[in-house]
Structure 1
Amino acid sequence: MAISQIAFHVIFTALFIVANVVFVRAILYRLNLVFNARKAHGTENFLEHKNWEFRIKSFVLNVILQKKNFKEPLRGIMHAFVFYGFVTYLLHTTSQFISGVFGYALDDPYKFTLVGSVFGETANHYYEAALQVVSILVLVGLGFFAWRRWIQKAKGLDVHSPASAIVIGMISLLMLSTLLGEGARAVGAEYANPFHDAAPIAAGIGAVWEAIGIEYSSADLVFQIMWWTHILSVFAFMLYVPTSKHAHLIFAPFNYFLQSDTPKGALSKLNLEDETAVWGVTRTEDFPWPNLLDGLSCIECGRCQVQCPANRTGKVLNPKAIIVELKHALMDKMPEVVSIRETNPEGAADAVAALDTSVIGKYEGLSEEALWGCTTCYACVEACPVGNNQVNAIMEMRRHLVLVESSFPAELQGAFVNMENNSNPWGVAAHSRADWAEGLGVKTMAEDSNVDVLYWVGCAGAFDDRNKRIAQSFVKIMQKADVKFGILGTEEGCSGDSARRGGNEYLYQTLAQSNVDTMNGYNVKKVVTACPHCYNTIKNEYPQFGGNFEVVHHSEFINELAKDGKIEVGVAEDANAGKYTYHDSCYIGRYNDNYENPRDLVKKVSGGKLAEPVDHHSKGLCCGAGGAQMWMEEHGERVNFKRSNQLLDTGATTIATACPFCITMITDGVKQEGKIEEVKVKDIAELVAENLK
């Protein structure tokens, strides 16, 4: 072997080893920090087959097929160009690594190719030709993202982002070096073979090289320069990416594969009887590890920020900042925690406790004002392309503020006291819970428990005058369909949704366990409710307390009655003259994927016509009342006013809702615009009851 060949082999192999060692160590270092945090709810049975099946499906859909990215079609396509470009390049770059390590690259970089060695030289020529097309598509994608960030200056993106410039520059260099190198190979006789026509891009670039004076004799030098440019760019990319926000390339796949198959609408259950349990979180090491993995996975694309109703109305909450600040906390605080645990295992607990690892109020994005601005609408989680869950992290910190520091908005104190004393947030006497049903012939479970379905009325249906009419309309529908149902009456308590989302896990568990015991005492099998918040908590969270019921939202229940022919819904008299629109409830939509049942009912009443607001279905804008916001004061622009204006902009004369909180908030918004006389706001149960044949 010639001296130059030996030198080449040694230099390349050294660079290869260093780049890979640094790359792997950076990844393992960060994963070690993450997994030194608290175990997460839902990951205890990691090896169960059903969890593996769920995780594999999550990985395939969202990593391989890019499902979440395509929720924004144009951006999804452009990201697919870049992502699938990387996938396509894997064989090409691996071939280059092998050629370099074994010294082939000095004489002929194409002496060895993975595609050629497995499928033959013909297949390799076509692969390389396809790679050139892919390179162009990657450059198109990069150009699009550069335009969005620095020209369009899209909301949610940091226009002063050197990391983005570095990565876009690196990837562009990877693509250009390949294209220019292939063009150099096409100069002169190199491509005078049957595959010349299969590589028109390289042939075209080769023609440009020839036009500027590069001849066949010097084209090989150009190719070698481009080859080294490409491979050194790959090594630089490996060194830089794990330490940057573009580490999402590595950690987002972990994020999707390690997801739990617990329901979207279920928060974790605290063990309140365990003296060592963590009651909410402010210390970095106490966060469940998925919250910290979210930080590493975040690409800072701002999709969550753009969709957040609080952020859209000028509040300080920024869900992107929540996740980014958790990443900063991970890298700032956890190294010392891990070091103590590894060097002094026996005294680690006391030593770690002495550290200042708290995050609330210590990082700009994690202020108490920001945490209390969340409506828990799940829009941020739905929008995130890398599988982050901002809501869970916020709820962990809210629990700490309430249970440990007793620090929460003063107005929330009244709701907590009312739920504790009267089992409803309004504070109305509990003995009047069944008064709404007087004269309707509705029996309680105590009077007759031999029923097919329990109607869970909820606090709004029982105590709020506007929502009492909805409960009465729903009863009318069930009686028309001869449904055998009962209510709990005064035995029904608050479902506890506002307590749990308000951070008061202790109060929530008291309410939930009482309700579960009552329903189990009557051997309840099926529950129907008109409140999405009650629906979500009974369906997805009561199983944590032994409450395993079939739970149906009234939109689905009524729609099934209509489909089965048990009721017949006519077209409303004003259907021809008016226009109907529908407001999506977050807790039956994003949380439970129930979008079409309520729409089906509205279409029956409207004669098939439905005008969608600008934000609808999975992008529907929250009414602003979720996450216990119903009981708190909102400052600045009100979310419900913004949403009401979107609905009014459709020109609708009837706005349909399917949630007691939503109907209250949207009605207030329509009143604010002075249109309450000309625009009706009604629950779907009212619309159906008014138009029963």
Structure 2
Amino acid sequence: MDIGRILFHLLFTAFFIAANVVFARAIIYRLRLIFQGRPAFFNEDAKKNLNLPFRLKSFFENVILQKKNFREPLRGIMHAFIFYGFLVYTIHTTSQMIAGVFGYAMEDPYRFMLPDFLFGESANHVYEQIVNYVSLLVLTGLSFFAWRRWIQKAKGLDVHSPASAIVISMIATLMVTTLLGNGAKTVAATYFTEPGLIDGMIGRVWEMVGVSNSSADLVFQIMWWGHIATVFSFMLYVPTSKHAHLIFAPINYFFATDTPKGQLSKLNLEDENAVWGSNRVEDFPWPNLLDGMSCIECGRCQVECPANRTGKMLNPKAIIVELKHQLLEKMPLIDAARAGKTREEAAEAVAALDTGVINSHEGLSEESIWGCTTCFACVEACPVGNNQVNAIIEMRRHLVLAESKMSPELQKAFTNMENNSNPWGVGAHTRADWAQGLDVKVLGETEDKNIDILYWVGCAGAFDERNKKISQDFVKIMKKANVNFGILGTEEGCSGDSARRGGNEYLYQTLAQQNVDTMNGYGVKKIVTACPHCYNTIKNEYPQFGGNFDVVHHSEFINQLSNEGKIDVKVADDAAQGKFTYHDSCYIGRYNNNYENPRDVVKKVSGGKLEEAVDHHSKGLCCGAGGAQYWMEEHVDESNPESMRVNSKRTGQLLDTGASTIATACPFCITMITDGVKAAEKIDSVKVKDIAELVAENLK
């Protein structure tokens, strides 16, 4: 046997093993760093039920079917070209590796292909033609993304990104070498009896430039080696670059939690060793660190973020990327500090390290962290399954619970919640005053506690003058439908949404447990509320405290009453002359997928007409009040022409529809949009109304 050939394949095998070892070590090293983060859902409940069907479904939908990528159709299609191209190329590349490692024992080492080996030349010919077409589609996708980044310079993308240039060049090289190599094989005329359209055209080009039958094999071998060298380079480079999302994003989707989108993690406040929020990189739950490694830095979260869109410091992309950098820089130091020490000594050594992330970078400044409205637009937009909101809440918890750092306005709201169980600080004894004269059953003040539905009024509906009218109108609707309902009156407390999303987990848990105990004491089964924040909290987060209730938002409830014929809603008198639009609340929309119920209600009043704002449904722009922002002062940078209040930008979108009536379904939203209409000096010509008001005014 040819000694040179044996040495060649031994050398190839050595490179093959080395590349795979380096690739695997890089992945395992990063996974080990990630899982040194704080335990997350692999705890009590998760150990009992990992819910494998849910995780496989998440993986299949978002990785195999590319579901989230297709929310941006054009980009989704172009990414699919590349992704499915990689899948098709798996057989091609595997064939080349087998030929390289074992080729010296085969008659023709440079032309081994699995389809040919397994099914014959005809099957291989079909596969090779598929590869040719797929290669062109991949090149189309690469060209599109290169155009977006370097020519269009789309917002959110780094135009000075050598990593992107390297990866695009590598993938393009893989495609081009395959196409040119297949074309050369047709010139050699020793493999395909009938060339396909693409390789036949490329073969004719080779012949035009002087490649003959005798030299075509050499050209093919050069292309073969160029392809193999690029594959090895790709394996060495990708795990250490931002394109490691190829490995970590599928892992991220597999480990997606099956908890509701609107549920934050519950801190164990009774554990003296519990970490109250996160600042040090090792204290972040490991899913936050996995998010960092999964991030492709595409900037979709940045583009959708209402704070970033209005010139604020917050950039959710920068937060996640910086977490990745902190992980790679500081976790190795932690490893070294722990080495060869007892648990106590290791804890002291790690505590002496500077592993804090807040204020370590502009992207992780306190101003950025407090700019989030928790609207979930970033999470909805992220194609790799990251949850930027969870990471931000972790840092807010640290600032509030560990360092007592928050704005004076937010501190006042917390104090008001503690003292009077509402952020306004109005006396708790007046919580039921809005219902005077309406003959509403108050459970604590009547012997007949038999109700079908508890109406959860919420702090806004009970104390805010504008929202009291909405509460009264909703009562009017329920009475018209003969609904057997009651309220808790003064026994109802703040749901705690602003406390939890403002980082004060201790206050939130106190409020939540009190409310759960009260409702369980009355045997409450079903709840309706007009506040999306209360709705989300009671529905998705109170189960953490033993509060398992059937919770519906008033938009769903009103729509159901109408559809069942329990109320008859007429078309508004001014519907023919005016237009109607609807503003999506983040907490019933993105968090709870309730988009159509409120629209259906508005259409009943408008005669079926509804003008959509430029951003609507899952891409609806936040009003700016969520995430406890309602209680904090929003700062506008006068020197930045893009800087404005979030509600002003959203109101502008709604006014651009030409609507004379803007419908809302949230007490925070109606306040913010009304303020925006006033600022635009349109309050005399444009009405802002809750859907309950629209229905109450047009009941037959």
TM category (shorter chain) comes to over 0.9
Partner of 1:432: 430
Please say which of residues 345-354 and 436-445 is displaced more in the overlay: 345-354
Q: CA deviation at 1:411?
A: 1.0
Partner of 2:641: none
Q: CA deviation at 1:689?
A: 1.0
CA deviations over 1:155-204 (Å, ceiling 9, x no partner): 000000000000000000000000000010011534662x42xx210000
3-state SS of the aligned residue for 1:494?
coil
Is contact 2:185–2:192 with CA below 8 Å preserved after alignment? Answer: no
Over 3 Å counting, the alpha-carbon distance change for 1:287 and 1:174 in structure 2 is same
Amino acid at match of 2:3: I
Partner of 2:495: 495
Percent identity between matched residues is: 75
Is contact 1:46–1:52 with CA below 8 Å preserved after alignment? Answer: no
Q: CA deviation at 1:45?
A: 4.1
**Structure 2 CA distance for aligned equivalents of residues 450 and 214 of structure 1:** 91
Task: Say whether residues 1:241 and 2:238 are aligned partners.
Answer: yes
Over 3 Å counting, the alpha-carbon distance change for 1:215 and 1:44 in structure 2 is farther
Over 3 Å counting, the alpha-carbon distance change for 1:81 and 1:345 in structure 2 is farther
CA deviations over 1:469-508 (Å, ceiling 9, x no partner): 1101110110011100000000000000001111111111
Partner of 1:21: 21
**Structure 2 CA distance for aligned equivalents of residues 84 and 48 of structure 1:** 36
Is contact 1:264–1:592 with CA below 8 Å preserved after alignment? Answer: yes
Please say which of residues 634-643 and 105-114 is displaced more in the overlay: 105-114
Q: RMSD of aligned C-alpha atoms?
A: 1.3
**Structure 2 CA distance for aligned equivalents of residues 104 and 123 of structure 1:** 24
Q: CA deviation at 1:112?
A: 3.2
Aligned residue pair count: 690
Partner of 2:639: none
**Structure 2 CA distance for aligned equivalents of residues 48 and 613 of structure 1:** 45
Matches within 5 A, 1:461-610: 461-610=461-610
3-state SS of the aligned residue for 2:276?
coil
CA deviations over 1:575-626 (Å, ceiling 9, x no partner): 1111110000000001111111001111111111111000000100000000
TM-score (norm 1): 0.98
Partner of 2:689: 682
Please say which of residues 447-456 and 103-112 is displaced more in the overlay: 103-112
Is contact 1:104–1:112 with CA below 8 Å preserved after alignment? Answer: no
**Structure 2 CA distance for aligned equivalents of residues 2 and 75 of structure 1:** 51
Please say which of residues 290-299 and 43-52 is displaced more in the overlay: 43-52
Partner of 1:224: 221
Is contact 2:307–2:372 with CA below 8 Å preserved after alignment? Answer: yes
Is contact 1:575–1:607 with CA below 8 Å preserved after alignment? Answer: yes
Please say which of residues 574-583 and 25-34 is displaced more in the overlay: 574-583
Partner of 1:458: 458
State which of 331, 334, 356 in structure 1 corresponds to 2:331: 334
Over 3 Å counting, the alpha-carbon distance change for 1:201 and 1:609 in structure 2 is same
Amino acid at match of 2:302: Q
Partner of 2:640: none
State which of 404, 407, 411 in structure 1 corresponds to 2:405: 407
State which of 259, 263, 269 in structure 1 corresponds to 2:256: 259
Over 3 Å counting, the alpha-carbon distance change for 1:104 and 1:595 in structure 2 is farther
**Structure 2 CA distance for aligned equivalents of residues 538 and 188 of structure 1:** 72
Partner of 1:668: 675
Partner of 1:638: 645
Is contact 1:99–1:105 with CA below 8 Å preserved after alignment? Answer: no
- Consecutive unaligned residues of structure 2, counting only runs of 5 or more, are 637-643
Partner of 2:69: 69
CA deviations over 1:435-463 (Å, ceiling 9, x no partner): 11111110111213200000000000000
Is contact 2:103–2:110 with CA below 8 Å preserved after alignment? Answer: no
CA deviations over 1:91-145 (Å, ceiling 9, x no partner): 1100110110002599634653222233332111100100000000000000000
3-state SS of the aligned residue for 2:189?
helix
3-state SS of the aligned residue for 1:102?
helix
Is contact 2:110–2:221 with CA below 8 Å preserved after alignment? Answer: no
Amino acid at match of 1:658: A
Partner of 2:359: 361
TM-score (norm 2): 0.97
Amino acid at match of 2:688: V
Q: CA deviation at 1:273?
A: 1.3
Partner of 2:662: 655
**Structure 2 CA distance for aligned equivalents of residues 251 and 383 of structure 1:** 18
3-state SS of the aligned residue for 1:682?
strand
Please say which of residues 10-19 and 339-348 is displaced more in the overlay: 339-348
Matches within 5 A, 1:54-133: 54-104=54-104, 108-109=108-109, 111-133=111-133
Amino acid at match of 1:542: Y
Is contact 1:170–1:233 with CA below 8 Å preserved after alignment? Answer: yes
- Consecutive unaligned residues of structure 1, counting only runs of 5 or more, are none
Over 3 Å counting, the alpha-carbon distance change for 1:482 and 1:281 in structure 2 is same
3-state SS of the aligned residue for 1:186?
helix
CA deviations over 1:508-535 (Å, ceiling 9, x no partner): 1111111111101101000100000000
Q: CA deviation at 1:42?
A: 6.2
